[in-house]
């Protein structure tokens, strides 16, 4: 009898661990696609007979589909059951990965990677939030959400390493074939996941679906295109609508449609079944958690944009070496995400969140202090350890904070708005870091050229005109080749390279300074995070 009694808790613990690993693997897989092919864009473009711009468009479209359908995916999960939505999403995602691995043209790649995988992710991600809530008691949710969030952040860190390794030694197609295998494993293990069927099945608000998808789609698309089109002033080689960049028009149109969506939802709440109840966003604890998710993913995306550029472009490291340099972050991230809830289960969430933001701020500032034209790859080691601690600390608390703000039956809704918030944060983080960096590089490079006596006046004049639209962020080798093709003398080329190295560092430091400001802003917004653990 004693052996049986002792075996039961052990069996339940093993089952809970398996459920948690299954959900964390799902989160890892969904996030991996946003970073795994960034180092292999040129190879993928050549294999499917398209351009680099076409592949960048496919990556953008994946983010776009996922963000636009996230709220709808959460509602579908409430209607058909969270476990069923998770498994159907995995099947759709797996079919998309298989299609992508076999793609021989851009349209097929767009169908598999951008559309099918995006739709699958929109079903899976909100369901993961709800399934953690239904499979773990309140006192264990912080640790569970911490591991799930850590899996997603680690996917961003190791994505370039996986993509670079497969592309270098095998083929980029192996990445997506491997995703199919992972999906099959998730589907087999998902049988252990306990569902939490709703007491009554809600109906789908089709008008709300269209309005939310259109509004979020326009907003995210405008943000994602800002680096090519400019924010307000159109770039010389970009489109112009009434003398203004399409970016601002798309964002304004998206915000207008989102406002109409909320007006419609208020009407539906009084006379029918809304897609999203307005009281959800009036909840102080939930809105505080969503704001912190937005800050976390904005900083995370911005830092994972800036640091790999320094390693790969400024220092000329390969995709594999760049990915390897990012691995220290994964270690401290996991330690913080899992260790904090386990060692200090009753610690104040607000305190942990603020400590996490301070670690992010410290890591960013240490990197800022060490960044100069003569710096080597070793300067990122300590900053990455601090950044990993910060992201892990935030991940250990925010999931439990948002879900505990509402009754468990509303956790799918929370999953929808939470993942919408993280997608918006990641999109804005990449766009802001990129646009600030390019603007700073352009300004510093042109200033350096004008004040460099070794560069002829004719070259200075030509540069002022030709580079007015922005200076690309390229390696020394690429710039030297371009200058040689333009017939520049050795002295001019050498002086221009020196000026550009300084400008490149100025661009990176400008982006890091902006991200440091965001971390400070987060410290003020953390006031809305509760002081005590959810019960």
pLDDT value at residue 171:
83
Between 178 and 272, where is the model more confident? 178
Average pLDDT rounded to a whole number, residues 154-172: 80
Ramachandran area for residue 195 (φ above 0: left; ψ -120 to 50: alpha; else beta)? beta
Query: Does residue 223 sit in helix, strand or coil?
Result: helix
Phi, psi (deg, nearest 5) at residue 172: -60, -25
pLDDT value at residue 456:
55
Average pLDDT rounded to a whole number, residues 172-189: 90
What is the 8-class DSSP label of residue 62? Answer: H
Q: How confident is the model at residue 470 (pLDDT cuts 50, 70, 90)?
A: low
Most confident of 13-22, 197-206, 398-407: 398-407
Query: Residues 372-380: contacts with CB within 8 Å, 24+ apart?
Result: 372/505, 373/501, 373/502, 373/504, 373/505, 376/315, 377/311, 377/315, 377/317, 377/321, 377/325, 380/307, 380/310, 380/311, 380/325
**Span 334-391, pLDDT tens digits:** 888 888 888 888 889 999 999 999 999 999 999 999 888 888 888 999 999 999 999 9
Q: What is the mean pLDDT of the chain?
A: 81
Average pLDDT rounded to a whole number, residues 390-410: 83
pLDDT value at residue 366:
94
Query: Does residue 470 sit in helix, strand or coil?
Result: coil
Helix axes 52-80, 411-450, angle to 10 degrees: 160
CA-to-CA distance for 230 and 243, rounded, in angstroms? 12
Between 469 and 62, where is the model more confident? 62
Q: Are the C-beta atoms of 385 and 328 separated by less than 8 Å?
A: yes
Q: How confident is the model at residue 7 (pLDDT cuts 50, 70, 90)?
A: very low
Between 518 and 145, where is the model more confident? 518
From residue 162, alpha-carbon distances to 34, 41, 248, 271, 387 in Å are 12, 14, 36, 50, 21
CA-to-CA distance for 360 and 15, rounded, in angstroms? 34
CA-to-CA distance for 127 and 31, rounded, in angstroms? 15
Average pLDDT rounded to a whole number, residues 125-132: 86
Q: How confident is the model at residue 455 (pLDDT cuts 50, 70, 90)?
A: low
**Span 487-500, pLDDT tens digits:** 666 777 777 777 77
CA-to-CA distance for 328 and 388, rounded, in angstroms? 8
Q: What is the number of other CB atoms lying within 10 angstroms of the CB of residue 402?
A: 27
pLDDT value at residue 319:
72
List all residues 6 or more positions away from 162 whose beta carbon is below 8 Å from its beta carbon: 32, 36, 175, 323
CA-to-CA distance for 239 and 21, rounded, in angstroms? 46
pLDDT value at residue 518:
94
pLDDT value at residue 523:
93
Q: Are the C-beta atoms of 415 and 130 separated by less than 8 Å?
A: yes
**Span 259-300, pLDDT tens digits:** 998 888 888 877 777 888 877 778 888 888 899 999 998 998
Q: What is the domain class of 13-197 according to CATH? A: mainly alpha
Q: Are the C-beta atoms of 419 and 70 separated by less than 8 Å?
A: yes
Most confident of 121-130, 157-166, 384-393: 384-393
Q: What is the number of other CB atoms lying within 10 angstroms of the CB of residue 54?
A: 16
Average pLDDT rounded to a whole number, residues 150-167: 80
Average pLDDT rounded to a whole number, residues 424-448: 78
Retrieve residue 324's tokens. 């390897």
Measured torsion, CA atoms of residues 365, 367, 368, 373, in degrees rounded to the nearest 10: 170
CA-to-CA distance for 97 and 117, rounded, in angstroms? 7
Concatenated DSSP letters for 80-109? H-HHHHHHHHHHHHHHHHHHHHH--SHHHH
Residue with tokens 């050795």: 490
Most confident of 42-51, 137-146, 354-363, 445-454: 354-363
CA-to-CA distance for 175 and 152, rounded, in angstroms? 17
CA-to-CA distance for 401 and 532, rounded, in angstroms? 10
- Percent pLDDT > 70 in the chain is 86
* pLDDT at position 421 over 50: yes
241 DSSP β-pair partners:
244
pLDDT value at residue 468:
47
Retrieve residue 323's tokens. 């990915």
Q: How confident is the model at residue 464 (pLDDT cuts 50, 70, 90)?
A: very low
Q: What is the number of other CB atoms lying within 10 angstroms of the CB of residue 98?
A: 17
Q: Are the C-beta atoms of 441 and 227 separated by less than 8 Å?
A: no
Between 400 and 238, where is the model more confident? 400
CA-to-CA distance for 403 and 28, rounded, in angstroms? 20
Q: Are the C-beta atoms of 97 and 450 separated by less than 8 Å?
A: no
CA-to-CA distance for 25 and 18, rounded, in angstroms? 10
* pLDDT at position 513 over 90: yes
**Span 235-260, pLDDT tens digits:** 767 788 878 888 899 999 999 999 99
Q: How far is CA 470 from the centre of its chain?
A: 25
> What letters, b where the CB count within 10 A reaches 16 and e where it falls short, cover 296-313?
bbbbbbbbbbbbbbbbbb
From residue 146, alpha-carbon distances to 23, 150, 206, 447, 459 in Å are 12, 6, 34, 46, 55
Q: Are the C-beta atoms of 129 and 415 separated by less than 8 Å?
A: yes
Question: Residues 167, 170, 174, 178: is their CA dihedral positive or negative?
Answer: negative
């Amino acid at each position: 009898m004693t052996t049986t009694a002792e075996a039961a808790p052990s069996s339940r613990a093993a089952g809970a661990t398996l459920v948690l690993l299954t959900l964390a693997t799902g989160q890892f897989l969904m996030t991996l696609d946003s970073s795994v092919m960034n180092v292999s864009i040129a190879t993928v473009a050549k294999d499917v007979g398209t351009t680099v711009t076409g592949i960048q468009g496919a990556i953008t479209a994946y983010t776009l589909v996922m963000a636009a359908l996230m709220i709808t995916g959460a509602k579908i999960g409430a209607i058909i059951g969270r476990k069923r939505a998770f498994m159907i999403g995995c099947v759709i995602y797996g079919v998309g990965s298989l299609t992508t691995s076999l793609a021989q043209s851009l349209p097929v790649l767009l169908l598999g990677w951008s559309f099918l995988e995006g739709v699958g992710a929109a079903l899976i991600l909100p369901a993961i939030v709800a399934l953690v809530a239904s499979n773990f008691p309140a006192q264990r949710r912080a640790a569970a959400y911490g591991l799930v969030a850590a899996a997603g952040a680690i996917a961003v860190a190791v994505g370039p390493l996986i993509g670079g390794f497969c592309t270098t030694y095998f083929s980029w197609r192996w990445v997506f074939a491997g995703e199919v295998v992972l999906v099959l494993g998730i589907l087999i293990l998902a049988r252990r996941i306990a569902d939490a069927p709703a007491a009554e099945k809600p109906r789908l608000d089709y008008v709300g679906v269209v309005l939310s998808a259109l509004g979020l789609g326009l907003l995210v698309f405008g943000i994602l295109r800002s680096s090519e089109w400019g924010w307000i002033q159109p770039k010389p080689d970009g489109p112009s609508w009434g003398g203004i960049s399409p970016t601002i028009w798309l964002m304004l149109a998206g915000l207008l449609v989102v406002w109409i969506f909320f007006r419609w939802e208020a009407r539906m709440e009084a006379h029918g079944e809304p897609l999203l109840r307005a009281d959800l966003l009036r909840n102080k604890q939930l809105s505080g958690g969503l704001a912190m998710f937005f800050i976390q993913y904005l900083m995370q995306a911005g830092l994972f944009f800036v640091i790999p550029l320094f390693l790969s472009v400024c220092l000329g490291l390969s995709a594999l070496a760049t990915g390897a340099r990012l691995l220290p972050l994964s270690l401290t991230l996991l330690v913080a995400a899992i260790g904090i809830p386990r060692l200090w289960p009753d610690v104040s969430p607000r305190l942990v969140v603020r400590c996490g933001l301070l670690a992010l701020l410290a890591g960013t500032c240490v990197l800022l202090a060490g960044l100069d034209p003569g710096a080597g790859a070793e300067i990122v080691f300590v900053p990455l350890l601090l950044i990993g601690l910060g992201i892990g600390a935030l991940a250990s608390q925010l999931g439990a904070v948002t879900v505990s703000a509402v009754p468990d039956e509303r956790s799918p809704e929370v999953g929808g708005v939470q993942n919408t918030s993280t997608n918006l944060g990641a999109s804005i983080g990449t766009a802001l870091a990129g646009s600030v960096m390019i603007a700073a590089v352009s300004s510093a490079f042109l200033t350096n050229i004008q004040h460099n006596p070794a560069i002829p006046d004719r070259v200075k004049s030509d540069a002022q005109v030709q580079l007015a639209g922005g200076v690309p962020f390229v390696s020394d080798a690429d710039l030297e080749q371009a200058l040689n093709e333009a017939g520049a003398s050795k002295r001019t080329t050498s002086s221009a390279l020196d000026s550009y190295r300084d400008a490149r560092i100025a661009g990176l430091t400008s982006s890091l300074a902006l991200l440091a400001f965001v971390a400070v802003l987060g410290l003020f917004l953390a006031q809305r995070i509760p002081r005590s653990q959810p019960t």
